[in-house]
Structure 1
Amino acid sequence: MTIQRTSAALSRRDILAAAIVATSGAAIAGTPVAGTPTSALTGTQWREDIRFLFEGLRRRHRDLFHHTPEPRYRAGIENLCARCGEMESWRVIAGIQHVVALAGDGHTFLFAKGLYRSYPFETAWFGDEIRVVRTAPEYGWLLGSRIERLDGLGPRAIARRLDRVIPQAETPWYVLGQRPDRLRRAELLAALGVAKSPDRITLEATSATSVHSEHVIEAMSGGKADDGLAHALGPRLPDLPDRGFAWRRLENGSVVHLNFRGYENLPQLAARFFADLHGAPPRVLVIDLRENSGGNYTLPREHIIAPLQEMPALNRAGRLFVLIGRKTFSAAMTNATDFRRETEALLVGEPAGARPNGYQELQTFTLPNSGLKVGCSTAAYRFGAPGDLAVVPDLPVAPDWTSFARGRDIALDAAIAHWRSTAA
């Protein structure tokens, strides 16, 4: 995959993106999300918020125009200001999400939780294929289906529209990891031109048994929790006491798989983890950062990497592995580079979502009229060599649909297979 440079001119694609987000929705009778305080705002109030947004980003961001040149960024802001008085509130919110994403980095974003209603399914990208991987119980029949079209649009057209509200200056794998969330949001899909209505969408799909069908899917009522998607495919972890930092033993105790998703209480949890390792030393340790979106990157340096450096039986090639992927972001990406530099670990999986040289250190602010919350990067970091565009694994293992549908964790399997091949 290549990362394109941004032209300083306002391109035809930019104009089209702004037009789709800003188009008046008089013909669409959308229902605002329950409890959203934005539906009564006037055009003047929205314009105040949009200009406050731009000035807030410009003052706080380490380099707001590192990805999108200033003339193009200002044109996007002015276009939204000019049209917001004609638009439903959810279209304005989608427009704000678009102009924030122009910053390019994943730490600069609109906090969108609760701003849109959701559809009762979740997807994942496998190459150019879109597969349904989680559903609400009543839509379990949709699991495993390949989405052919949404309101007449094929996967590539869907991706192009979703990418307008996804920062594009991280890695291409970051974009793959973000698309499933955007594809669930009903009003956002209508604003982007993926759906014809903010209330429902026509889904054409081919089932796991190769049956082609078409269904009209209604958006879930406002406020219905996203965690209701109980039916799921893919590799599953056993029930563990702390899903943010938990471990299990495989291969008759020879392999320890550490599921490291979060940094909360890390010093205490890591102390218990190493006590367990010393009590029954494994032959292989696999540290899984694939679902880790970040935290305080200094903590693993002290509480995981430093203790591992004192365990030569594990800290050696072929015995220590770190799994990374499209959702490995922020501090987790930083810690992946730490493991590569400070230990003998091999990185396994697909490239990390975050760029090694980019923008981090989140600061937030709130728009005065709508109350919308915005995150902004305030610092630049270099965790890779100049010119590095991604943290690339030593042992590449790309997710594939067949293995995923069967519940196989092929990255974990690859790490264990590598150990066996070197131990033989």
Structure 2
Amino acid sequence: MATRNVPMSISSPACVPRTRATLASLLALLFAAGSLLAHDAAAAAPTPITAQWRADLRYLATELPKRHVAPFWRLSRQQFEREVTDLDRRLPALDPDQIFVGMDRIENAIGDGHTYIRIPKDAPTFPLRFFRFGTDYRLIAAPPGSAPAAMLGARLVKVGDTPIAEAQRQLLSLTPAGETQPLRDVRATNLLVNGLILHGLRLITDRAVARYTLQADDGTRREIRLPAGPAPTTWHELPAAPPLSLQHPDLALACTELPAQQAMYCNFRSYRTLATDAPRMLAQIDRAHPQRLIVDFRRNDGGDFCLGLKYLVDPIRARPAINQDGHLFVLIGPRSFSAAMANAVHFRQLTHAILVGDPIGEKPNSYQEAREMVLPHSKWVARYSTRLYRFTAGAENLIRPDVAIPTPWQDYRAGKDPPLDWTLNVPIDAHLKPRAWPGLGKTPAGSEICEGDY
């Protein structure tokens, strides 16, 4: 989202009127489950545990339409109520993981990237990392010395007994239905190692043990049985010699001077310490006087875009030596989410920055500015959007790079970073200009919620 850290975010308004449920439909929704049981004379009275799940579902079904700024912008009220009624009917036969999946599927059907149920922190996870290249899921990291480590680079072909294509279809139902396919693919990939989700979808039979079938490029197949556990302190991973963009993964903002290219590369992964990180970055720019500056948003999942405006966009805009055509680059991709999407747009809107890489996954004109509510019995945290932001005036609801440069599997495996390599090697005297782009003028989108005069 482009929301602020509320707890996750991104930016810019043009709010549509809230869609509020009528009293009649809400009452119908609240008592739909009870009426279903009444029609079945053989139905047993719900157990106290079932009654608590039912209460949580009714709370979600009642409060989500009231709190979300536009709950039925994509999904009709009738579809929403059918989904709720169907889950309510099935509750007595479901275990907690299946119930979580059912409720999360309802939230994701609303459609925006900020509306979902947070996976509990105590959910089991499997110490593997997958990444999607084209249509393939590749294993890129595993614990050193483990069985999966011997299969690094292999394609994932099955989860449990389910072919990956079917597993992907099911996982996509737990991603925001109204967002771009690249963003949905990113989230589905992340869910591949979550025991709660895989068990809730019945892709595995034990939430604490997973089976993955991997196939190497030479055709060798191997089934890996893996217990859930914490991430290792070190990983055996690809590429063996990581490019700059994969180095220092624990640093929120890491800048590297590259004298041979007269450049400075700054990998911006997180907003959490930007107020202290950005002044050091700017001091380094002023000291080194690079001819080109590259700011990488590709692995940033958001925070407070007002901080990005204050500490990054505005100060760089005020430095004419770097804020000119062909000297300033912003790397973007499907994982640039929420405030990262917003600030990438702000760079494009307010400076001479050229966007390089892959399209951003989140739609720029979408519902964001997330808030949260806690379901009364399970204590699961349900998120919902409270504001419509607009970051483009174009007909296409998508932020594309000025220079599109993908990273195919073979390049990734070899430790290459084609978008970064291009920015470092394009001639400085090329007088590159951003392509014509239907922005929103020179007032930062969403800045009316920020302190300061824009």
TM superposition score category, shorter chain reference: 0.7 to 0.9
Match of 2:88 among 70, 78, 81: 81
Aligned match of 2:110: 103
What amino acid does structure 2 have at the position aligned with 1:74?
Answer: E
- Answer yes or no: is the 8 Å Cα contact 1:171–1:353 preserved in 2: yes
Structure 1 residues 57 and 388, CA gap change in structure 2 (3 angstroms): same
Q: In the TM superposition, what is the alpha-carbon distance from 1:81 to its structure 2 partner?
A: 0.9
Deviates more, 1:325-334 or 1:192-201: 192-201
- The DSSP-based 3-state class of the residue aligned with 1:57 is helix
Counterpart-to-counterpart distance in 2, 1:243 and 1:161: 34
Q: In the TM superposition, what is the alpha-carbon distance from 1:203 to its structure 2 partner?
A: 2.8
Does 2:315 align with 1:307? yes
Query: How does 1:179-258 map onto structure 2 within 5 Å?
Result: 179-195=188-204, 197-208=206-217, 210-220=218-228, 224-226=229-231, 230-234=235-239, 235-237=242-244, 243-252=251-260, 254-258=262-266
What amino acid does structure 2 have at the position aligned with 1:284?
Answer: R
Aligned match of 1:127: 134
Q: Structure 2, unaligned stretches of length 5 or more?
A: 1-46, 433-454
Structure 1 residues 331 and 156, CA gap change in structure 2 (3 angstroms): same
Does 2:408 align with 1:403? no
Counterpart-to-counterpart distance in 2, 1:319 and 1:353: 25
Counterpart-to-counterpart distance in 1, 2:405 and 2:257: 22
Match of 1:378 among 386, 390, 393: 386
- The DSSP-based 3-state class of the residue aligned with 1:133 is strand
The percentage of aligned residue pairs carrying the same residue is 28
What amino acid does structure 1 have at the position aligned with 2:263?
Answer: V
Q: Alignment RMSD, CA only?
A: 2.3
Deviates more, 1:228-237 or 1:273-282: 228-237
Q: In the TM superposition, what is the alpha-carbon distance from 1:313 to its structure 2 partner?
A: 2.2
Q: Structure 1, unaligned stretches of length 5 or more?
A: 1-39
Aligned match of 2:333: 325
How many residue pairs end up in the alignment? 381
Structure 1 residues 242 and 229, CA gap change in structure 2 (3 angstroms): closer
- Answer yes or no: is the 8 Å Cα contact 1:324–1:350 preserved in 2: yes
Q: Structure 1 runs of 4+ off > 6 angstroms?
A: none
Match of 1:268 among 273, 276, 282: 276
Higher relative contact order (Cα pairs below 8 Å, separated by 6+ residues): 2
- Answer yes or no: is the 8 Å Cα contact 1:244–1:262 preserved in 2: yes
TM-score (norm 2): 0.79
Aligned match of 2:98: 91
Counterpart-to-counterpart distance in 2, 1:41 and 1:243: 47
- Answer yes or no: is the 8 Å Cα contact 2:126–2:230 preserved in 1: no
Structure 1 residues 227 and 422, CA gap change in structure 2 (3 angstroms): farther
- Answer yes or no: is the 8 Å Cα contact 1:119–1:217 preserved in 2: no
Aligned match of 1:166: 175
Aligned match of 2:66: 59
Counterpart-to-counterpart distance in 2, 1:41 and 1:321: 58
Task: Give CA-to-partner distance per residue, 1:393-416, whole Å, 9 cap, x none.
Answer: 011112211111112112111222
Q: In the TM superposition, what is the alpha-carbon distance from 1:130 to its structure 2 partner?
A: 1.0
Structure 1 residues 206 and 251, CA gap change in structure 2 (3 angstroms): farther
Counterpart-to-counterpart distance in 2, 1:149 and 1:167: 24
